[in-house]
Amino acid sequence: MSVIEGLSHIVLTTSSVEKYESTVQFYSLFGYQPISQVGSRVLSNEVSQFLPREEKVLHLFGKPPTQDITIRIVLTTNANEKEPLPEEKDWRLEQSSLVSATKNIVDVESILESINLKYQKYTYPNESDSLVAPLSADLVHTEIYTHDPLNNLITFTNKPIPISKSIYPIKPISPIKQQDISSSNISTEPKTKKKRIGMLTSGGDSPGMNAAVRAVVRVAISRGCDVYAIYEGYEGLVNGGDMIKKFGWADVRGYLAIGGTLIGSARCKAFREREGRLNSAYNMVKNGIDALIVCGGDGSLTGADVLRSEWPGLLDELIKEGRITAEEAAPYKHLTVVGLVGSIDNDMSSTDITIGAVSSLHRICEAVDSISATALSHSRAFVIEVMGRNCGWLALMAAVSTGADFVFIPERPPASDDWESEMCEILKKHRKLGKRKTIVIVAEGAIDKNLKPIKADYIKELLSNRMKLDTRVTTLGHTQRGGKPCSFDRNLATLQGVEAVHAVLRATSDTPSPMIGVRQNKITCEPLMKAVELTRQVAEAISRKDFRRAMELRDPEFSEDYAAYIETTIVNDETLSKNKCLRIGIIHIGAPAGGMNPATRAVVRYSLNHGHTPVAIYNGFDGLLQDNLRELSWLDVDGWAAKGGSELGTHKIIVSDLDIGMIAYQLQKHRINSLLLIGGFEAYSSLVELNNYNNQYPAFCIPMVCLPATISNNVPGTDFSLGSDTSLNAIVESCDAIKQSASASRRRVFVVEVQGGQSGYLAVLAGLAVGATNVYTPEEGVSLKKLQLDINHLIRRYGEDKQGTSSGRLVLRNECASETYTTDVIANIFKSEGRGLFDSRTSVLGHIQQGGAPSPTDRIRATRLAVRCVKFLEQYTSHPSSSEKVVFPSIYTNTKDSAAVIGIDGAQVIFTPVADLLSETDMKYRKGKKAWWINIKELVEILSKWGYYEIEPELNQEFYETLDNALHRR
């Protein structure tokens, strides 16, 4: 029998003498023995019935490791009677009052049949690796659900711990009677050998590796596989023994929020030799491992593919040496290898981003933002060296994100032989404009056009001697590797870990070793060695001084980001032809979002370089009506790359709330002949209104573009809005702290309310990043059934936790998930139904979700998209027949395409006419009708709920196909 640890006894009450006696008799049938009786039944003088004044104690003496169980059956006048569950209902979805583990499950069924008691019986695949055939009944995992005479639901199972180790989507199975389960119904085919996957991390550590390990372990278990963690990378594979350990579901608890790699990484010279790989093959065969998932850089992944190519020969050699037999080797004829790229350098081809690169960029930007304050205070110059080996991604993206004055990267060295003078001249211009600080970022592999290294100390000497600047050098070093992974890396590693397991399961002996990557925001599976070869071509191109080819081999955004950096950083004294000069109105609408200020900075800088006049409209359309406008200069937006919120001020008042005629008048009055709206759904709906009136008011016959900026990510026409990444990081940081508190308090569940309006994007993506037990979104709503399933899961999990070791758990609820089931109501339900097993608390994150400083991802997106917006406005400036400067208010555009929303579709930047987006918009709930992320919610539950899904993997194909589509659609 099984009972919650620490529980002294179970009390069953009834007011019926008949039910009292039948309950005693019922439990006696299953081995319970009476050990005491208290009270008696006395006949009343007034009525012909017994007054209940009795209780009987029954005890079941269990054999270790099972526990003894005591049941106290009480006959009393104030008992509450229960109703039996409906027969058509799946009783597995309800909480059992008692779970009994027995080796004699067939006898239990016979007893229930003999007393004509209704029950539901379910069978599951056995988890043993036994290949014995045929399977006997006791090798089948069986669960029987029935009611005792008091209508308490009780469960009998033939497993010591009646919880499946595999996780599959629940699919109700109709109750099966005993006569339907016969030996003829049980498969006599030998069981397929369970897949055993080895997981190792190698090379330099990177934030997010632990998230990848967690995803591989839990998804593999959910697919019926065993997973072995190989400690210290290839060194553990070579040495074997205790360095190869089978991992269970709970072994990766808490991995998401921890940087580095908890299973270790080490350089292993032995693996580079055939003898070391021979030992690795031996250890894998002895542990039954026939698939290997490696998370590391190009060297680590190459080593794994070498092992795979040599595998048949290594097995033959082990057999000849007598270390293994031919029978032992037979099941392992082929080795499956799958690679995950874990590297802060982002230097692998065939993938746009690697696990850990964005987190490392976070560390760099935090450092540079801090250094900028010191530089500004003392009017100093700082030369900052960042990591990246021969890849300039970290240096370039840090320069874009922080507004650095100059950057050196290996792929694009300075074009001039006298780059020293060129750099000093540019920095002098910045100082002449009034800048008090100078920031130069140099990649550790930076070179000049003649391949001569450019070092930070040399740059310092130039700034000190030629420009007489008080200059310091800061080498960030390994701080760039440290710290928690950001939300992006947690989710990237998780999604790629899921795909890695799927790649293992679909691999054949002819399949080339795949590398899991991401291209155009879609999870990809590319040939590993092809990616390695392309990566090496970058270094070869640089060595040949073919820098154009080196730039092409980087991700598709690399060149565009470099161009955007130059256009928004280097002052252009020679502006473009005046026939394209625009007065660009810049307005912020809606709630503040990280990225608004970096986008405005980029628009101002790019516009000034191209001869346009950027005009700030303060405090939204309300400010426009109050003549609250000002032309912005280059220096006005200095430092805005790192500023959160909205320096222009923003307001949720939209066009439809104001006098449309006055808005047109003000645009004409201030000669605004192109308009950039930065904001959320309010900005989008305002653009819709302005476009609707372009036939009535000539002032609206100008190019207009909406740049989505909202934490809710609910604007149609784009996969990502500015501010959504900043908000996710703010939520994840808060949830990490909340989870730490919950863990310290033991047995506590926090219901965390997040923003997002009618869009569940923040809740789902944050839930995946923090390992939430469940996520409640407006798209699915909240029901009693869902709450009951989560309560059952929490009761089971906390019941399994050892005393004093239980961790805190989180449930995320979108603020609009349900009007009835509020955050407080859900927390109170959890607390009440927990019955003292666990406590619950609430946490409403509120406006901290709008974030402080924008995340590097939002800064980079803001810069790239803002530059594209100005180019869009330039494109629709004049009639094709006009070659003269535009004089407002002449009508020069009224085409449908001239009013559009800029968006990210995969890795592409697109402009969609606002008129075409209306069919994709749910105006009532203020969001787009398409949500690429919606199916990821299922993954949140898969990765958090052990035993939540309980059908065989082969019956689960439809669900995993849906999940695959969600991953690859990105």
* Mean pLDDT in order along the chain per 10 residues (970 residues): 49 84 87 74 42 72 67 79 80 80 84 87 57 44 87 83 33 30 31 81 94 95 93 95 93 93 92 94 95 93 93 95 93 93 92 95 96 93 93 96 96 93 94 94 95 96 95 93 93 96 90 90 89 90 92 86 93 59 94 96 95 95 94 94 94 86 93 95 95 90 96 96 96 93 82 96 96 94 91 84 73 96 95 87 92 93 97 78 48 84 90 94 93 90 66 46 54
719 is in an annotated binding site: no
What would the two tokens of residue 227 be?
Answer: 């997973």
What would the two tokens of residue 557 be?
Answer: 């955004």
478 is in an annotated binding site: yes
- Burial code of 30-43, b = ≥16 C-beta within 10 A, e = fewer? bebeeeeeeeeeee
In a domain, 554, yes or no: no
Given phi > 0 = left and psi -120 to 50 = alpha, else beta, which region is 351?
Answer: beta
774 is in an annotated binding site: no
Identify any residues that bridge with 226 across adjacent strands, giving them in sequence order. 196
Identify any residues that bridge with 341 across adjacent strands, giving them in sequence order. 296
- Burial code of 133-144, b = ≥16 C-beta within 10 A, e = fewer? eebeeebbbbbb
626 is in an annotated binding site: no
* Residues 193 and 129 sit within 8 Å (Cβ to Cβ): yes
DSSP state at residue 355: B
- Strands, E assignment, 53-163: 54-60, 69-75, 98-101, 119-124, 141-147, 153-157
Q: Does residue 706 share a domain with residue 730?
A: no
Alpha-carbon distance of 312 to 304, in angstroms, equals: 14
In a domain, 506, yes or no: yes
316 is in an annotated binding site: no
Q: Is 457 helix (H, G, I), strand (E, B) or coil?
A: helix
Three-class HEC string of 953-965: HHHHHHHHHHHHH
In a domain, 960, yes or no: no
345 is in an annotated binding site: yes
Q: Does residue 449 share a domain with residue 417?
A: yes
The reported pLDDT for the residue numbered 575 is 56
Q: Which alpha helices (DSSP H) does 269-415 contain, by range? A: 274-286, 298-320, 326-329, 357-378, 393-402
935 is in an annotated binding site: no
Other residues' Cβ atoms within 10 Å of the Cβ of residue 115: 10
In this structure, what CATH number is given to the domain that contains residue 804?
3.40.50.460
**Distances from the Cα of 780 to the Cαs of 110, 854, 961, in angstroms?**
43, 30, 20
594 is in an annotated binding site: no
Q: Does residue 692 share a domain with residue 577?
A: yes
Q: Is 205 helix (H, G, I), strand (E, B) or coil?
A: coil
- Residue 645: give the domain boundaries: 573-722+854-879+887-928
* Residues 722 and 646 sit within 8 Å (Cβ to Cβ): no
The reported pLDDT for the residue numbered 438 is 96
652 is in an annotated binding site: yes
Which residue has 């970022």 as its token pair? 441
Residues whose CB falls within 8 Å of the CB of residue 653, separated by 6 or more in sequence, listed in order: 620, 621, 622
525 is in an annotated binding site: no
Which residue has 């779970």 as its token pair? 99
DSSP state at residue 651: B
Alpha-carbon distance of 936 to 932, in angstroms, equals: 9
What would the two tokens of residue 940 be?
Answer: 């949140």
The active-site residue out of 345, 352, 561, 790 is 345
833 is in an annotated binding site: no
In a domain, 753, yes or no: yes
Q: Does residue 702 share a domain with residue 581?
A: yes
In a domain, 99, yes or no: yes
Identify any residues that bridge with 407 across adjacent strands, giving them in sequence order. 441
**Distances from the Cα of 510 to the Cαs of 121, 354, 513, 621, 764, in angstroms?**
42, 27, 9, 62, 37
* Residues 951 and 775 sit within 8 Å (Cβ to Cβ): no
Other residues' Cβ atoms within 10 Å of the Cβ of residue 729: 26
Q: Does residue 271 share a domain with residue 203?
A: yes
Residue type, 363: R
Other residues' Cβ atoms within 10 Å of the Cβ of residue 325: 10
* Residues 422 and 571 sit within 8 Å (Cβ to Cβ): no
Alpha-carbon distance of 440 to 729, in angstroms, equals: 27
244 is in an annotated binding site: no
- Strands, E assignment, 664-778: 674-679, 704-708, 748-754, 774-776
DSSP string, 774-793: EEE-TTT---HHHHHHHHHH
Which residue has 């958090």 as its token pair? 944
Which residue has 């280097």 as its token pair? 570
Identify any residues that bridge with 519 across adjacent strands, giving them in sequence order. 522
The yes-or-no answer on residue 897 being catalytic is no
Which residue has 């609820």 as its token pair? 813
847 is in an annotated binding site: yes
Q: Does residue 492 share a domain with residue 349?
A: yes
Q: Does residue 431 share a domain with residue 498?
A: no
**Distances from the Cα of 738 to the Cαs of 146, 711, 734, 837, 844, in angstroms?**
40, 21, 6, 19, 11
The reported pLDDT for the residue numbered 163 is 35
815 is in an annotated binding site: yes
Q: Does residue 333 share a domain with residue 201?
A: yes
Query: Among 562, 176, 202, which Cα is nearest to 397's?
Result: 562
β-pairing, 141-147 with 119-124? antiparallel
Q: Does residue 579 share a domain with residue 705?
A: yes
482 is in an annotated binding site: no
365 is in an annotated binding site: no
pTM value is 0.79
171 is in an annotated binding site: no
In a domain, 566, yes or no: no
380 is in an annotated binding site: yes
299 is in an annotated binding site: yes
Q: Does residue 760 share a domain with residue 635?
A: no
Q: Does residue 598 share a domain with residue 718?
A: yes
Count the residues in the chain.
970
In this structure, what CATH number is given to the domain that contains residue 248?
3.40.50.450
In a domain, 959, yes or no: no
Burial of 241 (0-12, 13-18, 19+ CB in 10 A): exposed
In a domain, 543, yes or no: no
Other residues' Cβ atoms within 10 Å of the Cβ of residue 161: 13
In this structure, what CATH number is given to the domain that contains residue 14?
3.10.180.10
704 is in an annotated binding site: no
- Burial code of 301-318, b = ≥16 C-beta within 10 A, e = fewer? bbbbbbbbebbbebbebb
Torsion (CA) 928, 933, 936, 938 in degrees, nearest 10: 10
* Residues 291 and 198 sit within 8 Å (Cβ to Cβ): yes
208 is in an annotated binding site: no
Q: Does residue 344 share a domain with residue 206?
A: yes
**Distances from the Cα of 835 to the Cαs of 141, 143, 374, 739, 745, in angstroms?**
29, 25, 55, 21, 17
Domain tally, the chain:
5
926 is in an annotated binding site: yes
